[in-house]
Structure 1
Amino acid sequence: MARPAGDLVRPGAADLLKLLAPFPGRAAITFRVALICALTVFVTSAYGTMEAAISAYVVFFLTLPDRVLSVVQSVAMLVLVTTFIGIILVVSMFALNDPVWRVACIAGLSFGLLFVTSASKLRPVGAILAMIVGFLLDELGSVPFGEVATRALLYAWLMVAIPFGISVCVNMLLAPSPRRLAGQELAKRLRLAARSLAEPEATRDALTACLREGDAKIGTWLKLSVLEGSTARADAAALKQAVSSTLAILVAADLAVRELSSRLPAPFAGPIMATLENMARMLEAGGYPVDIELNLPDATGLSPLARIVAGDLQRAITRFTVIEEVEEVQESKAAVEAATPPAAEKAGGFFLPDAFTNPDHVRYALKTTAAAMFCYLLYTQINWPGIHTCFITVYMVSLGTTAETVEKMTLRITGCLIGAVLGTAAIVFVMPVTTSVTGLMAIVFLGTWLAAWIAFGSPRIAYAGFQIALVFFMCVIQGAAPAFDLTIARDRTIGILIGNVVVYLVFTRVWPVSVAARVDEGIAALQRQWAQIARLAQTGTLRAQAASAMAQRGALEQDLALMHYEPSWVRPDSQWIAQRRSALARLGALEGPMFLLAERLAERLAERQPDDTAIDEWIRRLDPGAPGGTAAAVTQPPLPEASNNEAHAALLNLGNARLIQLEHAAPDDAAKGITIHAPA
């Protein structure tokens, strides 16, 4: 499914053009999706399969940036769908001729699949499987006898197998390898760091967004590239070190951007920028730099913070792919595990750790099933099958929390209206002069291009793109040949709107789930994680955990931003939100100093003094409910005996100064934020 949206503010007209602006890879994946959808229309027309619009829409869930995951996901989905169609075949033997049993089977299978969706790694596709099962059982109820039902199931399998097969073929031929994507992403980050030295103000937001992304995506691509064979196993360790070094380069560049006293003069910035550009070109070409030389002038005349930036950049660049020797200091297993965030625990299991203890999983399955069955009974009892899309929509828009569901619904209603306008315009002005499947393919290609450009762009508007595609396909793909029945387009659009309204009413009134609990758990986990990061001695492990922590903080900020979608009876009070927003702001200000300080503590781990507790004191002040939430109540942490180290002292002073500044400004800024983002 589409990625969950959410940023600090709802996108408005001023920044909509920025959200639609091109970025590397966006046009390529948009073209692939449009091509696969057009080819799917051609093949479904040749076979005359039912619900060709659903076949085209499924493509949006199969296509990923790299070819390995795209192919694996397509094959895995085909296996799952084949398995579930087999289950439907068995169930239909008992429920085909009995409406009561058929409704009971739809509800029972829906509840079971949705529970597994919420409580396991099936989450991205589980709701789609539940929708397919329910929809097929409903369709089978209208067939006259068993042989036709069997053939209908075979055609249903074709309905999903066709886009899966075409997706595999196209992605194998056109999608980039994970190795190429990893190199491009590293090159992009190096160029951003280089540009930030020359244009600090213009790159500040981009650097922050880059650090929020973390390294998980690049790490996954590198692992896949080894499995695929595009990266030799001998090079994997060096590339992993390149990811680690890139994080250190970004953190140093971020310090230079945020602090005037840490910015480098031209004699320092020039050689660093040129070296980073050369490294980026090597990574884009498919290789990686080794034996890098970077000679900088004497840094005696620089400020302490500027010396930190210059020294860290020089060290990270010259040791960009130098694999760290870990024999001297081995991490204890307990320390590494303690620094791992809860989200990563038990990553190898299929079910989540709280799958059978958290009642929210059962409640989510019950609420979604109840909403879906209401829609099902609605269009069957009033004998209006044209609005059956309300049943499909319920599975598409329901999410675990009220905020996510309402946000998704808002974007989907917007996308629904846009898709309906585009589809209706195509039916009125284009379809009457279209006489072949080739013309229908061209129409689908153009409409898919627009929807995919939105769906695979910014997460803030991605769901709207998915809904544009669904409604557009429902309008223009009415059978095996071009057709222009406006009644079908009208009914399907009405059904989608009904489904959105039903989900909103159910998820805001029945067992509403706020993101508040997730925010509190996340902040507590981040405090523990940073405390353990400060005690790690292996630089590679430290950087990996720090990148994870920065990404986790970005996710928590998005969760807080989602709260303005929650109704007033679900959303926590303004003081609660202000405290959490302040805690995350302080954590964001301290991430750079904590990272740089932790690296220095790791280098001299054997000499660390017992009273070297600056990071621990900072973390205590991050607690939203701690008494140190105002500047008047705080005391600066004592400097350790090693404070004669100028860099160490400079980082401690920087962290303290940032904390005090934010703690002074927190009450007013938080109140303003609540006023803006707290609709009734």
Structure 2
Amino acid sequence: MASLAGDVSAPGPREIVKLLAPFPGRTAIVTRIALICALTVLVTSAYGTPEAAISAYVVFFLNKPDRVTSIILPIALLVLVTTIVGIVMIFAILCINEPALRIASMALLSFGLLFMTSASKLKPVGAIVAMVVGFGLDELGLAPVGEAATRGLLYAWLMVAIPVGAAILVNLVFAPSPRRLAGKSLARRMRLAARRLNGTATDAERAAFEACLREGDHEINTWLKLSKVEGTSTQDDFAALRQASASTTAILIATDLAASEPGARLPDACAAKLAQTMEQMAAMLDAGGYPVDVAVDLPETASNAPLAALVLTDLRAALEHFAEPAPEAEAAKSAPAPAEHAPARGGFFDEDALTNPDHVRYALKTTAAAMFCYLLYQQLDWSGIHTCFITCYMVSLGTTAETIEKLTLRIAGCLIGAVLGTAIIVFVMPTLASATELLALVFVGAWLSAWVAMGSPRIAYAGMQIAFAFFLCVIQGPAPGFDLTLARDRAIGILIGNVVVYLIFTRVWPVSIASQIDTALKALVAQWTRIAHAADAATRRALAAGALAQYGELRQNLGVIHYEPSWVRPAPAWIASRRRALAELGAAEGPLVLTAGRAGAAADARLRALAQRIDDGEEVNARTAPANDNAADSRVSALLDIIDARFGQIALEARAAEISEDLSALKETRPDARP
């Protein structure tokens, strides 16, 4: 954890292979998505509904790993789309015979829905709803007659209703329960910790261990809450498994310190015994239960070294009280406050919905891009490129860095999907003789696309675009199609939409991700300050899990900042200082958790020094802090020394990086001395 963070470049071929490697649950959700896509195409083919490719693409937004969310989300989206279509019908009465008024209504509704996409809980599906509204109003222009217009709006509703129905059916039968997913995830954490502790972990397992450490426990706790809703967990099971989730966080942190610091390393016999206990507990979790009354009998060779003894104490306590929830009074007293960077819970709109101009600007920019593309293909009378209109809603995001990153992935995915779709039209379609064979082809294409889309965020959007381009090329009607012109036009439309969004989002009110990074960094420092003062284990573990997840999000945001154009991106010195601050936070994680409640003043001094460097970039010496009341505790002193040593190493790396950049700049600007 002592290296500079956030230096994340575009993935190379070797890294892409790693990102495409299987992980637990990936095959299951990918197969479900492919099956739902095939069923969606089957229904659209049977009833001859238009835009079957978009219906198949909507499936990618409806599925989550667990059964409950994968049913609730489609139902909520269908209710929302039904409401929106009802509103569109009201507008249709007023503007069915007035093209100018229809376009104005399209822009107005698009702006309103995109504003809510940016400033409310509508964010996950808002862009899809805006696209459906635009499609519905566009259908009015194609059929400006009452009955035909009503049929067009019905088709817009069916475009979402068909995949929703297929998703609910498949997920009811095949999706795993949230209780099972929570148990499997806890078991995986225990196995990875066991192999990391005894030194048998492979490179892939070490990477998976780091990923588990950074993901926090939010997803597991959400699954546990959903298991109560579903009825697969009793109140006692819920409390025990929630405590198990917190215990795994403590186990991961202590294991990481033991594996990365020589002074904290446990003797081989002791580590082997702990790893064996973890493996046995993982087997119980995999079987659907959870371990209770855990007894850890360690050999007499347990280390007396201060750091190793502290790690051993923390690991032993987490294992022996693995699924023993704290008493209700203590749990209520120690419940952590929500993170500072998190939106207020309970409200539909974000706290800054009416004060932050970026919400309005995002809605205006996306609407402007979509309406430009709409007018472009209408004026050119080239309806084949209407996908440029749809693409604008799919690629636009709140900041310039995120938009360009996703746009780059989408362009790459579009080219891959278009080439794949075109090759299938030329070489495979002529051999197909029935709709059944078309469904099999859709299943295979959806499976491959979903495999990419359900992976790392670094490549997920490419998978979404591969699916989009593939479906638009291959699904041309209720039977196999052979029109290469249609595939060409739709691919051109996608590329036009991407270019228009790029130009608008980089030239008109560009929003750097820098402000988000600074806000999140300050919130993370405040979170670790609270952890340093947390006296009880329950509070410390809950806060630490959130802080670890925040670190992962910050690292990703710093990694995508290089996508921003030079006129939007902050200065190199700003980026370097934030990378250093994030690296220092990562270096202090394990020691701060283990010293929590015992090194308040000393820990505060180091965090204040870090916060001041974020504010003004000055070097601040944390050693000038007042002496810690518990300085006599050799274990606490040893952990603080680890923080100082890691900070020193990071400072050396930062200075080396600055010198390297200065030398590179000097070489570039050196005058030519030749005669």
Q: TM-score, normalised by structure 1?
A: 0.93
1:117-136 matches, cutoff 5 A: 117-136=117-136
1:384-533 matches, cutoff 5 A: 384-533=382-531
CA distance in 1 between counterparts of 2:407 and 2:543 reads: 35
Shift of 1:392: 0.2
Out of 555, 558, 561, which is 1:560 matched to? 558
- Whether contact under 8 Å (1:187, 1:283) holds in the other structure is yes
CA distance in 2 between counterparts of 1:671 and 1:257 reads: 32
Shift of 1:307: 1.5
What is residue 254 of structure 1 aligned with on the other side?
A: 256
Q: Deviations over 1:487-515 (max 9, x none)?
A: 10000000000000000000000000001
Structure 2 vs 1, CA of residues 671 and 153 (structure 1 numbering), >3 Å: closer, same or farther? farther
CA distance in 1 between counterparts of 2:545 and 2:279 reads: 23
- Whether contact under 8 Å (1:85, 1:157) holds in the other structure is yes
Shift of 1:627: 7.5
CA distance in 1 between counterparts of 2:436 and 2:358 reads: 48
CA distance in 2 between counterparts of 1:99 and 1:453 reads: 42
Shift of 1:642: 2.6
CA distance in 2 between counterparts of 1:198 and 1:534 reads: 29
SS at structure 2 position matched to 1:460: helix
CA distance in 1 between counterparts of 2:519 and 2:248 reads: 29
CA distance in 1 between counterparts of 2:550 and 2:535 reads: 22
What is residue 671 of structure 2 aligned with on the other side?
A: none
CA distance in 1 between counterparts of 2:141 and 2:629 reads: 79
What is residue 235 of structure 1 aligned with on the other side?
A: 237
- Whether contact under 8 Å (1:452, 1:465) holds in the other structure is yes
User: 2:572 is aligned with what amino acid?
Assistant: S
1:330-341 matches, cutoff 5 A: 331=333, 336-337=336-337, 340-341=338-339
- Whether contact under 8 Å (1:455, 1:462) holds in the other structure is yes
Structure 2 vs 1, CA of residues 277 and 85 (structure 1 numbering), >3 Å: closer, same or farther? same
Q: Percent identity?
A: 59
What is residue 382 of structure 1 aligned with on the other side?
A: 380
Structure 2 vs 1, CA of residues 469 and 627 (structure 1 numbering), >3 Å: closer, same or farther? closer
Shift of 1:345: 4.1
User: 2:81 is aligned with what amino acid?
Assistant: V
Q: Deviations over 1:374-428 (max 9, x none)?
A: 0000000010000000000000000000000000000000000000011111111
CA distance in 1 between counterparts of 2:619 and 2:300 reads: 41
What is residue 219 of structure 1 aligned with on the other side?
A: 221
Shift of 1:7: 8.0
Q: Does 2:581 align with 1:583?
A: yes
What is residue 644 of structure 1 aligned with on the other side?
A: 632
User: 1:485 is aligned with what amino acid?
Assistant: D
User: 1:311 is aligned with what amino acid?
Assistant: T
What is residue 357 of structure 1 aligned with on the other side?
A: 355
What is residue 660 of structure 1 aligned with on the other side?
A: 648
Shift of 1:150: 1.2
Structure 2 vs 1, CA of residues 430 and 612 (structure 1 numbering), >3 Å: closer, same or farther? closer
Structure 2 vs 1, CA of residues 671 and 503 (structure 1 numbering), >3 Å: closer, same or farther? farther
Shift of 1:98: 0.9
Range with greater deviation from structure 2 (364-373 or 665-674): 665-674
SS at structure 1 position matched to 2:569: coil
CA distance in 2 between counterparts of 1:39 and 1:418 reads: 24
Range with greater deviation from structure 2 (116-125 or 545-554): 545-554
CA distance in 2 between counterparts of 1:663 and 1:257 reads: 23
Q: Does 2:287 align with 1:289?
A: no
SS at structure 1 position matched to 2:533: coil
What is residue 47 of structure 2 aligned with on the other side?
A: 47
Q: Does 2:20 align with 1:20?
A: yes
SS at structure 1 position matched to 2:352: coil
What is residue 672 of structure 2 aligned with on the other side?
A: none
Structure 2 vs 1, CA of residues 673 and 414 (structure 1 numbering), >3 Å: closer, same or farther? farther
Unaligned runs of 5+ in 1: 1-5, 602-610
1:109-258 matches, cutoff 5 A: 109-199=109-199, 202=203, 204-258=206-260
CA distance in 2 between counterparts of 1:318 and 1:665 reads: 40
What is residue 366 of structure 2 aligned with on the other side?
A: 368
Q: Deviations over 1:251-280 (max 9, x none)?
A: 011101211222222210111111100111
Structure 2 vs 1, CA of residues 672 and 65 (structure 1 numbering), >3 Å: closer, same or farther? farther
CA distance in 1 between counterparts of 2:173 and 2:637 reads: 55
Range with greater deviation from structure 2 (310-319 or 654-663): 654-663
Aligned pairs, number: 656
Q: Does 2:256 align with 1:268?
A: no
1:57-72 matches, cutoff 5 A: 57-72=57-72
- Whether contact under 8 Å (1:581, 1:670) holds in the other structure is no
Shift of 1:645: 2.6
Q: Deviations over 1:141-164 (max 9, x none)?
A: 111511111122223322221110
User: 2:102 is aligned with what amino acid?
Assistant: R
CA distance in 2 between counterparts of 1:479 and 1:123 reads: 31
CA distance in 1 between counterparts of 2:258 and 2:661 reads: 28
Out of 635, 638, 659, which is 2:623 matched to? 635
CA distance in 2 between counterparts of 1:301 and 1:109 reads: 67
What is residue 550 of structure 1 aligned with on the other side?
A: 548
Shift of 1:639: 4.4
Range with greater deviation from structure 2 (322-331 or 530-539): 322-331
What is residue 536 of structure 1 aligned with on the other side?
A: 534
- Whether contact under 8 Å (1:376, 1:391) holds in the other structure is yes
CA RMSD of aligned residues (A): 2.0
